[in-house]
Structure 1
Amino acid sequence: MTNLASQRRYWDTVGATKTFTHPIDPGWLAGIERSARVLDYGCGYGRVMAELSDQGFTAVSGVDVSPVLIQRGRQLRPDLNFTVIESPPELGYGPASFDVVLLFAVLTCIPDDETQRALITELSRLLAPRGVIYVSDLVLQPDERNRRRYAAYAEQFGTPYGVFATDDGAVCRHHDVKHLRALFDGFHLVNERRIEVTTMNGHRSEAVQLLAVKR
C-alpha cells in the first residue's frame, strides 16, 4: 500500500505546482506562547509556517517528503526553517522536541491505516507532555462523483473506502471523521469544526479540523 514516501515523484512534479488552502484558525493557538516550538509536518512550500511566523511565532520548523516543495518554500521564505524528510515518518529529533505539531492535509496523502498510525505514533513521540496537535483534513464527500471514485478504487485495490486517484496521478483519501478521531485516541480532543476548502485541483470540499492535547 502507498506509504509516505512512495508518492514523492508526484509531489516533486505535478504536486509541486499546487496551491494549498486549508486555513489555520489563530484563535485555536491564542493561548500558546509565541516562543513555543512548532513543527509543520508535511509543510509543503511553507504557507502555514509563514502565517504563524507573521503572527509572531519565533520557533517554527517545517518538514516534507518533497525536496522540490521544500526548495519552493526556501525561495518564498528564506527566513524559515525547512527540512526534507528522508525516511518518513521518522524524523531525527529527540522525544518531546516540539510543543505544537501541525498536520494539514497530510493524512489525505496517506491511503492506508497502518502508515497513518505510524505517523501519529511518531508525532506523539515528538510532542512534549501536554503538547498540542492541530489537524486539518478532508472527510468523505457525499456527491456522486466522489462516491463512484471511492467504490471503484476499493473494489479494484481493496483499499479503505474513501481512497481514490486524481486525474493527475495522486492517490488520496477522504476520511470518515470517526476514523480521524480514533487515530488520536491517545490525545484529549479539545476542539473540532467543519469547514469548506478548495482542494489542490480546484474543487470545493468539506474538511474537518481537530485540536488535541497529548495526554
Structure 2
Amino acid sequence: MKDLGSQIAYWDGVGATKTFTHPVNLSWLAGVDRDARILDYGCGYGRVMAELSEHGFRDVSGVDLSPALIERGRQFRSDLRFAVLESPPDLIDASGSFDVVLLFAVLTCIPDTHAQRALVRELNRVLAPGGLLYVSDMVLEDDERNHSRYAAYARQFGTPYGVFATDDGAVCRHHDIAELRALLSDFDLVDERGIEVATMNGHLSQAVQLLARNR
C-alpha cells in the first residue's frame, strides 16, 4: 500500500467501470479566471473536467494512473486533454504550472499516509503561489458496518484506522477530518463543507470538501 500504483489492476479492471459522484461546488471557483491552468489529478474518465469545460474553463487537463480510465475519458470527451501518470505521484510539469488542482476522491484510494503526504507535496510544487487546491474525499462513517471493517483491517494489517477493503477488491481509506486538515497544513484553508455522496459501489456516505490556497 506504500505504492500509489499498487491497485492498478483494480482501476484497469472493475474500477474502470465505476461512476464517480463527488459534486463540484462552482461557487468556490467563481473568482477563478476562465483561462486559469487547471489540473484534475486522478481525473478518472474526466467527469469533473467535462463539467469545468462546460462552465467555460478553457485550460483543463487531467491525469490518472489507470490507462483504462484514461481511454474511457478520451472516448467520453475527445476534446479534453488526458494523460496517464507514468510514475505517480510525480508529474512531468514544471513547478508552478497550475493555478488550480482538483483532487476528487483520490486520497481515499491511497491508504498509506506517507504516500498521501508525497502526493500533496507534489501538488504543492506544481501549484503557482496563491493557487488553489480543491479536495473532496471520504470521512469516517459512524455505523457499525464501517466500524467493524475499519477495526478488522487495522488489526490484520496494521493500517491506519479507516482503511478497509471493498467487496470487489479495492483498498480504500476514510479519514478523520482533522487528518485531512493536517495533510494540508502547508496550505491556507479557505473553506470547508460537509457533503453526502454515493460511493462508487452505491452506498450513501459522508464526505468533506476543502478549498486551500498555496502559500
TM-score (norm 1): 0.99
Query: d(CA) in 2 for partners of 1:142 and 1:208?
Result: 15
1:104-132 alpha-carbon deviations (Å, 9 max, x no partner):
00000000110000000000000000000
Query: d(CA) in 2 for partners of 1:128 and 1:30?
Result: 18
The corresponding residue for 1:45 is 45
The corresponding residue for 2:89 is 89
- Deviating beyond 2 angstroms after TM superposition, the runs of 4 or more aligned structure 1 residues are none
The corresponding residue for 1:33 is 33
1:25-80 alpha-carbon deviations (Å, 9 max, x no partner):
11000000000000000000000000000000000000000000000000010000
- SS of equivalent residue, structure 1 residue 205: strand
Q: Over aligned residue pairs, what C-alpha RMSD do you find?
A: 0.5
Query: d(CA) in 1 for partners of 2:14 and 2:4?
Result: 17
| Partner amino acid, structure 1, of 2:188 | H
The corresponding residue for 1:135 is 135
Query: d(CA) in 1 for partners of 2:66 and 2:164?
Result: 21
1:162-212 alpha-carbon deviations (Å, 9 max, x no partner):
000000000000000000000110111010000000000000000000000
* Identity rate, percent: 71
| Partner amino acid, structure 2, of 1:8 | I
The corresponding residue for 2:186 is 186
- SS of equivalent residue, structure 2 residue 136: strand
1:74-117 alpha-carbon deviations (Å, 9 max, x no partner):
00100000000000000100000000000000000000110000
The corresponding residue for 1:155 is 155
1:10 aligned to 2:10?
yes
- SS of equivalent residue, structure 1 residue 134: strand
Does the 8 Å contact 1:196/1:205 carry over to 2?
yes
- SS of equivalent residue, structure 1 residue 83: strand
The corresponding residue for 2:114 is 114
- Unaligned stretches of 5+ residues in structure 2: none
Query: d(CA) in 1 for partners of 2:91 and 2:32?
Result: 24
- SS of equivalent residue, structure 2 residue 87: coil
Does the 8 Å contact 2:2/2:114 carry over to 1?
no
1:210 aligned to 2:210?
yes
Query: d(CA) in 2 for partners of 1:68 and 1:47?
Result: 15
1:98 aligned to 2:66?
no
TM-score (norm 2): 0.99
Alignment size in residue pairs: 215
- SS of equivalent residue, structure 1 residue 117: helix
Does the 8 Å contact 2:117/2:183 carry over to 1?
yes
Q: CA deviation at 1:3?
A: 2.4
Q: CA deviation at 1:2?
A: 4.0
Does the 8 Å contact 1:3/1:111 carry over to 2?
no
